[in-house]
Amino acid sequence: MEFYVEKIEHNINHYLTSLKTEKNLSDKSIKAYHSDLSNFLSWLKEKEYLKIDDEIVNIYIKYLQNEKKLKDSSIKRKYVALKSYFKYLVHKKVISYSPIEDCRISFRTSKSLPKTLSRLEVERLLKAQIEDFKILKSEFRKNICIRNIAIIELLYCIGLRIGELVDINIEDIDLIEQTVLIHGKGRKERILFISSTEVIDRIKEWLEIRSLFNPLCNSLFINKYGTRLSIYSIEDIFYKYREIADIDTRSTPHYLRHTFATQLLNNGADLRAVQEILGHSSVTTTQIYTEVSTERKKEVLLKFNARNHIKL
């Protein structure tokens, strides 16, 4: 069964609106859907296809695999975007049947282990900021450093995504209760407890001087212009101290989140609790950290492995 390409183009905006109003998806997710659908539409026009059926969809998937050489995870995301859109068109009676229904596509689910920093590397990273502060001369640079210290400390202390960190507003943080409201993926919110009093002190130090940056918004962390920091600014801050600390040059701010989760599990935290803290919708996502939480495996094997007691 087939339908004309123009039906895709005419209904995309209505579909994107429904994702926001009915499914409450974040702007970032909607932007990804828009990109995937637009790319498909551009490909159809380039190939001068006037109609779509399951064969055309299969050709497109092969194009992504063989010519674009995208990862299976990326292709699967684009496939899911098309499947969801066609399902919407069927529901709205724009088309009578989804061409995706007849597609037989399998995706390899390769599992890459989370990359982490060692405890020593984390300590060097945190200390690098303190040492940097000591050698700064100007008051402005010192104030920037105070902000940066609070940023890195908070990222590591509660295992935030950098997108979540930049979205924190002043009213989201309660220094008396030591809690912070996190605006997570898919507009899901969670409250986290900042367990380290040192980290609380770092945040207080930043809040005492925040007004010197002439805030133009209610964001917790602002730039020198008084506006909300971007995720790219957070990355630059991390890379600066990564270089000073001389730690893994491949590491990114997300390594701190991976390290945080792995250390929780190493220290005996419950998997479900870690899932809630990280804001994962499924415990399956959290389980990957058990693959790199080697300390507890080491403890069990040293204590219970019978081979340790066989002497030849």
DSSP assignment of 19-63, as one string?
HHHTS---HHHHHHHHHHHHHHHHHHHHTT--EE-HHHHHHHHHH
Q: How far is CA 180 from CA 158, 169, 183, 192, in A?
A: 10, 9, 10, 5
Tokens of 85: 């859109």
Collapse the DSSP code of 70 into the 3-class scheme (helix H, G, I; strand E, B; otherwise coil) and give the result.
coil
Q: Which residues contact 81 (CB under 8 A, 6 or more apart)?
A: 32, 33, 36, 37
* Other Cβ atoms within 10 Å of 253 Cβ, number: 22
Collapse the DSSP code of 177 into the 3-class scheme (helix H, G, I; strand E, B; otherwise coil) and give the result.
coil
Q: Which residues contact 86 (CB under 8 A, 6 or more apart)?
A: 95, 98, 99, 100
Q: Which residues contact 46 (CB under 8 A, 6 or more apart)?
A: none
Q: Which residues are catalytic?
A: 161, 185, 254, 257, 280, 289
Distance between alpha carbon 88 and the CA centroid of its chain, in Å?
27
